Amino acid sequence: MGRIILILTMVLGLAGMARAQAEMIPDRAIEGVIQGQIDAFLADDFATAFEYASPNIKMIFGSVDRFAAMVRQGYPMVYRPRAVTFLELREIDGDLWQKVLVRDAAGVYHALDYQMIQTETDWQINGVQLLQAPQLGA
């Protein structure tokens, strides 16, 4: 009888781990979308970068050219990053926010928050906020 309980406990534990891993998949999918957009920026492929934007963002900017101008002027650290580190994914008031630490070409760190939405086909970026830069060093 004790052996059956032990086996049942192990099976339930494995099922819990599988469920936890499944819940982590959105993290990787969201990171993939953000990284895909950054890779498109690095290739100067603004048409592809614009595809990662939500319908709302596409409506606000209306064209790839206006979107490209906004990114170049307002988010140069994302347009030409030296390094990108994904931090925590959080739910705030029902919205998903992915925190990202970006090191720009000059070596300066910038913390950004990406608001993500899920569409019928994939995750999309619904906005980006520049956060207070983390203090690094002594």
CATH code, domain with 65: 3.10.450.50
Q: What is the pLDDT of residue 2?
A: 55
* Domain membership flag for residue 34: yes
Q: What is the pLDDT of residue 4?
A: 56
* Domain membership flag for residue 42: yes
| Angle subtended at Cα 119 by Cα 114 and Cα 125, rounded to the nearest 5 degrees | 20
* Domain membership flag for residue 135: no
| Structure tokens belonging to residue 72 | 């170049």
Report H helices in 1-138. 2-42, 46-51, 55-61, 64-74, 76-79
State which residues of the chain have pLDDT below 50.
6, 8-9, 11-12, 14-24, 138
Handedness of CA 64, 69, 71, 77 (dihedral sign): positive
DSSP state of 124: E
What is the domain count for the chain?
1
* Domain membership flag for residue 137: no
* Domain membership flag for residue 25: yes
Radius of gyration of the chain (CA): 19
* Domain membership flag for residue 69: yes
* Domain membership flag for residue 119: yes
